[in-house]
Chain A
Amino acid sequence: MAKITYIQPDKSEIAVDVRNGFSVKDGAVNNLVPGILAECGGSCICATCHVYVAPEWVDEIDSAEDNEIEMLEEADNVKDNSRLSCQIFVNDDLDGLVVHIPAS
């Protein structure tokens, strides 16, 4: 279990508990966090679950696989700390993780 905080472009925050094994995307869609559509359901197909990982957390998360990297290269408003939230899986070590949702 980890508490994940989602910060919207307008700075409003929602913090939710996410079970281990669930993705950061799951935490958002299960708790009505706006801005993470995840249309493909979490298959790393559509890049509609893009988030910015808070800088202090970037190194704590398993790095992206090639497919995710290629999708992100072409997504809108990408930064160095961009990730697809369907590919970040929660474990106890991610308790306190903060992600920012891009302005769409």
Chain B
Amino acid sequence: MLDQLSISQDVRDFFMSVVIVGAGHAASQIVSSLRVSDYSGAITIIGNEPYIPYQRPPLSKQVLAGEMLLEDVYLKAPEFYDVAKADLVLDSHVESIDRDQRTVTLSGGDLIAYEHLVLATGARPREITLPGSALDGIFYLRTIEDTNRIRNYFRPGAKLVIIGGGYIGLEVAAVAAKAGLKVTVLEMAERVMNRVVAPIISQFYQDIHSKHGVDIRTNVTISHLEDNGNGHVGAVICGNDESVEADFVVVGIGGIPNTELAAVAGLAVDNGIIVDEYARTDDPTIFAVGDCTNHPNGIYQRRIRLESVQNASDQATAAANTICGKPEPYCAVPWFWSDQYDIKLQIAGLSQGYEQTVLRGDPKSAVFSVIYLKDGVLLAVDAVNNPRDFIQAKKLVAARVRPDPAVIADISIKLKDLF
């Protein structure tokens, strides 16, 4: 197949094709969106993992818990790629893009020609660079193989130290605590999930984790990771010299966009590959979608980079529409979710820069929402076990409503009645 695609420039000019670098949520969605729009050209997905596109959110939830296997989290069944006539080039790494020749080069030297190229390269975990960070037994979580490696350490009583109290760290903590591990979470800030939620939600989650026996320590800096004598981590040493014993360590301190391929090809990069609202880079034949992009958000009127399923899916559809000649600007309310124990957190919108929060409901009931406002405009809603508010919130954020704080605090009033 690769040989057939390595064809001369003259022929290639008439060869409709989309080549997608990356095999995650965005790649899977582009295939669907192109074919539903009757795109008739060739589609090739190049992925660096040996698997067909699969869902990442369950990796820190059901897959880690052993409740789901790889085949349970495939985004599409294997036969979908036959139905959709999409070629999968898996376990392959793209070395470079030749923008003049419109080819990508795989690490084995094979060339794949494109008419349109879509970079869906995702993000990778930010790594710690402290002394001892190369010891065995220190893990990050992005791929199913990461999850399997972590799960291999799961046994009741095993000591797990998690560095970072964000979504990944806390979801891993919840699964591990339920499996009987002794879990400690070390967070540098004064509260968990500090970059994404209000203090009242951080407190709610810290209480829930404490109830399940997780030791959450905030305002903690890490000095180094200590060798147990066999080249394997044995303890995490904090800045105050406190030692926390560890049979293994999971690090969840954020992600870094995979932009190197784009940057080397001369595309504009600044905390993500720069794209417009049609997912176009500054090369009209190259698009970028998902976690790896820095894109304009029409609702917040600023450039953002998101690591989320929603963004991967919606931006992929925007790219496909542009490729199919029916461009529609991408302008969506970002949304996110996190499952910890039996608590479902659903977030609509981006709360960064908020000036005021309004509590709706009682955290003691474990069903409540927090509404974020700036200049009177509703920016975002965090819904805890409150799917009704979440579904309504997406529409309110899109409409940029200016609610009366006293009214939205009243749970007898439905959010949709604010319209």
Nearest Cβ on chain A to B49's Cβ, whole angstroms: 17
* Closest chain B residue, CB of each to CB of A19: B77
CB-nearest residue of chain B to A21:
B72
**Which of A39-47, A53-61, A95-103 forms contacts with chain B?**
A39-47
Within 8 A of A (CB), among B299-342: 309-310, 313-314, 335, 337, 339
List CB contacts (< 8 Å) of B271-324 with chain A. 309-310, 313-314
* B79:A30 contact, CB within 8 angstroms: yes
Give A65 to B388 CA distance when docked, in angstroms.
14
Residue of A nearest to B314 (CB): A39
A70 touches B388 (CB 8 A): yes
Chain B residues with Cβ under 8 A from A37's Cβ? 313
**Contact at B387–A71, with CB atoms within 8 Å?**
yes
Asked if residues A41 and B344 are in contact (CB atoms below 8 Å), the reply is no
In this complex, what residue of B is CB-closest to A22?
Answer: B77
Interface of A is mostly: loop
Scoring A residues 44 to 76 as 1 if CB is less than 8 Å from chain B, else 0, what string do you get? 011100000000000000000001001101110
Q: B344 touches which one: A30, A32, A67, A73 (CB < 8 A)?
A: A67
- Bound form: Cα–Cα A39–B79 in Å: 20
Picked from A22, A31, A39, A47, the residue with its CB within 8 Å of the CB of B391 is A47
| CB of A34 within 8 Å of the partner chain | yes
Does A29 have its Cβ within 8 Å of any Cβ on chain B? yes
Residues of A within 8 A of B75 (CB): 29, 41
B316 → chain A closest CB, angstroms? 11
Q: Taking the nearest CB of chain B, how far is it from the CB of A100, in angstroms?
A: 18
Interface size of A in residues (CB-CB distance below 8 Å): 21
Chain B CB within 10 Å — which of A34, A43, A75 has the most? A43
List B residues 45-79 near A (Cβ within 8 Å): 55, 57-58, 73, 75-77, 79
Give chain A nearest CB distance to B413 CB in angstroms.
14
Q: Are B35 and A74 in contact (CB under 8 A)?
A: no
Decide: A29 and B32 in contact? CB cutoff 8 A. yes
Residues of B within 8 A of A26 (CB): 77
Instruction: Enumerate chain A residues within 8 angstroms of B313, measured Cβ to Cβ.
Output: 37, 39
With CB as the reference atom, state the residue of chain A lying closest to B317. A37
Contact A29 B387 (CB under 8 A): no
* B391–A30 touching, CB < 8 Å: no
Residues in chain B near residue A47, CB distance under 8 A = 391
Choose from A30, A43, A73 the contact partner of B388 (Cβ within 8 Å): A73
Contact between A32 and B83, CB atoms less than 8 A apart: yes
Contacts of B387 in A (CB 8 A): 67, 70-71, 74
Q: Is the CB of B32 within 8 A of A32?
A: yes
Interchain CB contact under 8 A, B337 and A43:
yes
| B80 at interface by CB-CB < 8 Å | yes
Which residue in chain A gives the minimum CB-CB distance to B393?
A74
CA distance A71 to B73 in the complex (A): 22
With both chains docked as a complex, state the minimum distance between the C-beta of A16 and any C-beta of chain B, in angstroms.
Answer: 9
B77 near A30: Cβ-Cβ < 8 Å: yes
- Residues in A whose Cβ lies below 8 Å from that of B265: none
A74 to B83, CA, bound (A): 34
Q: Which residue of B lies closest to A37 (CB)?
A: B313
A41-B55 in contact given A29-B32, A30-B83 (Cβ < 8 Å)? yes
Residue of B nearest to A45 (CB): B337
- The reply to whether B79 and A74 contact each other, CB–CB distance below 8 Å, is no
Bound complex: CA of A76 vs CA of B416, how far in Å?
11
| 30 cross-chain CB contacts under 8 A | A26-B77, A29-B76, A30-B77, A30-B83, A32-B32, A32-B36, A32-B83, A39-B310, A39-B313, A40-B309, A40-B337, A41-B55, A41-B58, A41-B75, A43-B57, A43-B58, A43-B337, A43-B339, A45-B337, A46-B310, A47-B391, A67-B344, A67-B387, A70-B387, A70-B388, A71-B387, A71-B391, A73-B388, A74-B392, A75-B391
List B residues at the A interface (Cβ < 8 Å): 32, 35-36, 55, 57-58, 73, 75-77, 79-80, 83-84, 309-310, 313-314, 335, 337, 339, 344, 346, 387-388, 391-392, 416
Given A31-B80, A67-B344, 10 more pairs with CB closer than 8 A? A29-B32, A29-B75, A41-B58, A41-B75, A43-B57, A45-B337, A45-B344, A47-B391, A71-B387, A74-B416
The 10 closest A-B pairs by CB, nearest first: A74-B391, A41-B55, A70-B387, A30-B77, A30-B80, A71-B387, A34-B36, A45-B337, A39-B313, A74-B388
